[in-house]
Amino acid sequence: MVKSLVSFKQLTRKEIEFLLQKAYSYQKKPPGSILQGKILANLFFEPSTRTRLSFESAMKKMGGECIGIEGEERSSLSKGETLSDTIAVVSRYADIIVIRHPEKGSAKLAADASSVPVINGGDGTNEHPTQTLLDLFTIWQTQKTLDHLHLVVAGDLKNGRTVHSLVLSLHFFNPTLYFVPIPGLEMPFEICQFLREQGIKFSTHSTIEEVMPQADILYLTRVQKERNSIGAYSINKKTLERAKPNLKVLHPLPRVDEIDTEVDATPYAHYFDQAANGVVVRQALIVHLLEKCSC
């Protein structure tokens, strides 16, 4: 198992299943104060609600403490300190670091500069691996398997890092993928190339409705306006008329206009439970990385 979690490409199927099982065991029986005396540093250079607060909740539920930075302007990066120097110092204050940063590759840079485990909480348009862990946990719990599922992935596929990590992770599980991008916001070439190399079936479509009858999971993403994405789309109850009974609608959140609130009361809506799963999944990851760490 890796010292830091920067990319989903680092994980094997066995390691993913181990982490999901550990999260499940924590959901059934909370681990108690097993991290008393440990400190997690949350370094967030981009806005966040779920990722930051669920890491904090995860740590505090296990008796640990959190320190952190919110926004570059409130740290010495604003005085010209490099990210590497910042991490070198923070890794002397904390036992584990979570970083969210607008630059692709920043989490790798942080992991290289750190003497303690670093978790990528989202690096630009690149990846968001802990979101993917909780997405897989949610899919596994709702579908009772991760294998051979049909997933519709819709929205901003170009700049939505959550769908990048999700799609990379799914190659272990032989999925069938239906991409429904907003025009101009298609899945990046390198990710499609990776899927081709892995022999994963995927196709691109112009409407969600045309692939709805096949879907086990409908995974939606927000238009990433902060990354200059332009466009809009929305689903409502009518979009789901031909859904299979086991369909679940997932969304990493925050949503803007992608899901009409009338969907919230349907049995398909699962995005708030998905967000809730972030706590146990992050508990499992923190504990595992700390157990592996000899620092």
Tokens linked to 97: 């670091």
205: contact with ligand CP by CB under 6 A: no
Part of the chain binding ligand CP (CB under 6 A), chosen from 102-110, 111-119, 163-171, 247-255: 247-255
Site membership for ligand CP, residue 91 (CB under 6 A): no
Q: At a CB cut-off of 8 Å and minimum separation 6, what does 228 contact? A: 159
Minimum CB–partner distance for residue 29 and ligand CP (Å): 26
CA distance 94 to 41: 6
Write the binding mask 98 to 127 for ligand CP: x where contact by CB under 6 A, - elsewhere.
------------------------x-----
| Site for ligand CP contains 274 (CB under 6 A) | no
Q: Is 155 near ligand CP (CB under 6 A)?
A: no
- Report the C-alpha gap between 183 and 157 in whole angstroms: 10
- Interface with ligand CP (CB under 6 A), residue from 48, 114, 138, 176: 48
**5 makes contact with ligand CP (CB under 6 A):** no
> Do residues 92 and 70 make contact, with C-beta atoms less than 8 angstroms apart?
no
Angle between helices 129-143 and 13-28 (to 10 degrees): 70
CB 213 to ligand CP: min, Å: 28
Could you tell me the smallest distance in angstroms from the CB atom of residue 242 to ligand CP?
28
> Which is closer to ligand CP, CB of 30 or CB of 47?
47
Q: Which residues of 110-131 are buried (b: 16+ CB within 10 A; e: fewer)?
A: bbebbebbbbbbbbbbbbbbbb
Cα gap 170→64, rounded to integer Å? 32
Segment lying near ligand CP (by CB under 6 A), choices 66-74, 184-192, 218-226, 248-256 = 248-256
User: Residue 241 pairs with which residues in a beta bridge?
Assistant: none
Interface with ligand CP (CB under 6 A): 48-51, 122, 128, 131, 252-254
